[in-house]
Amino acid sequence: MALHIVASRPDPALLNLPWSTPLEDWTEHVVPLPRGLSRHVVRIIRLGDRTYAAKETVEEIAFKEYRLLRDLQRLGLPAVVPMGVVTGRTDPSGEQLPSALLTEHLRFSLPYRSLFAHGLSADNVPSLIDALVVLLVRLHLTDFYWGDVSLSNVLFRRNAGGFAAYLVDAETGELKSSLSRQMREYDLTVARENVFAELLDLQASDALDDNLEAHGIVDLLEERYHALWDELTVEEEFDADEMWRIERRIERLNDLGFDVDELDIVTDFDGDKVRIQPKVVELGHHRRDLQALTGLNVEDAQARRLLNDLAAFTAHHDLGREDRTLVANRWLTEVYDPIVRLVPVEARGKLEPAELFHEILEHRWYLSEQAGAEVDIFETARDYVDHVLPQRPDEAVTAASAE
């Protein structure tokens, strides 16, 4: 059988990879990046300025997952980007080899085990759970049934001290015309069981404090899932003279990082009672606001932190009556960009710029507490780059790490 590559973004360099060799034996082009647990052989490969994850699997499953990931991409959901499927692989003796699914490597992302290997403590586990909950709720809102919810099937990116979760394994997933409550609850049950086992495994390997209550964490997962789902979907009824509650509901959703694109408002026959229910909600409220102002494309909590600093800059320079876009451009050129440029080239694989800026703001608070007065942001940035950043591990593929 001839080698066959189906790709959404064709890369001629893919043809030169050693497809006649099992992935587990690959050495050339392989980047030593941390990988999560998988039922399949997975390798991270670097071709020029592109980095891919290649996973061996059955041809039918490879195409199913490829198409499903493309659907999730079109829906704007946080998942790895599918790049292609390779079939028709045979070894030199003519024996058939598994097909391979290719996805784009997500920069500055790590599997949960690597986060703990990098020093993540038990105190940060609820942040991981929150990220998983937000991902699961977003998928359920679009009628996606996951079937295998777990920390292992997610990649995490830092998000202003918290995390954002991206689906990395959609092998068992399915987009439904309508997702029933029973299917959502089944996904939640699977999540509880898998996360519980993963936490116990971390404790058994001494990567996590034995005092962490795994039962309490999975209870928290279920509790936060239901709380977020209800906030986003539950119908609310109130008297007609309490119309301010519509604005309050929207504000609460905005605070959670969600925009309301459509709201269903119904009054009773006499107009005495009003019922409202969000019909279309989308995560990324702060992200879209910041991108419209500055062009920066970051995670939502990072965007909120940057917008807060922009607001402080606006107040400090008394620019409240100026055009917001012009003020944002001034903040970008006078504050954000110069601070990011302070990072030496060899250290730019440690944190993405928005997370770096967030950490510098946190460091500024720490230094100001010590000094008893507000410390200049550039003085803070230089201190952070000199004393804190060198201690952090690299979390991105760099040219040097790929050689």
Instruction: Please state the length of the chain.
Output: 403
Lowest mean pLDDT among 7-11, 51-55, 348-352: 7-11
pLDDT at 35 over 60: no
Per-residue pLDDT averaged across 371-397, rounded? 88
**Residue 400 confidence class, pLDDT cut points 50, 70, 90:** very low
Write down all domains in the chain, each with its CATH number in brackets. 4-105 (3.30.200), 110-233 (1.10.510.10), 236-283 (no CATH), 289-402 (no CATH)
- What confidence tens digit (pLDDT) does each residue in 234-290 have? 888 888 788 788 888 888 888 888 888 778 888 876 767 888 888 777 888 899 999
Express each pLDDT in 77-120 by its tens digit: 999 999 999 999 999 998 999 999 999 988 888 899 888 887 78
CB within 8 Å of 8: residues ≥ 6 apart: 70, 82, 83, 84
| pLDDT given for residue 361 in this prediction | 94
Please state the φ and ψ torsions of residue 55, each to the nearest 5 degrees.
-125, 125
Q: Write down the pLDDT at residue 396.
A: 64
pLDDT at 260: 82
Q: Which of 108-112, 158-162, 259-263, 331-335 has the highest mean pLDDT?
A: 331-335
Mean pLDDT of the chain: 89
DSSP 162-191: EEEEEE---TT-EE-SS--HHHHHHHHHHH
Q: Confidence band (pLDDT; 50, 70, 90) for 402?
A: very low
**CA-wise closest residue to 222 among 199, 180, 190:** 190
CA dihedral 36, 40, 44, 48 (to 10 degrees): -150
Ramachandran class of 357: left when φ > 0, alpha when ψ lies in -120 to 50, beta otherwise: alpha
pLDDT band per the 50, 70, 90 thresholds, residue 37? low
Is residue 323 classed exposed, middle or buried when 0-12, 13-18 and 19+ CB atoms within 10 A define those classes? exposed
CA–CA separation, 141 vs 125, rounded Å? Answer: 24
What is the pLDDT at residue 279? 79
Q: Is the pLDDT of residue 32 over 80?
A: no
Q: How many other β-carbons are positioned within 10 Å of the β-carbon of residue 159? A: 24
Is the alpha carbon torsion for 208, 211, 217, 218 positive or negative?
positive
Residue 140: pLDDT over 90: yes
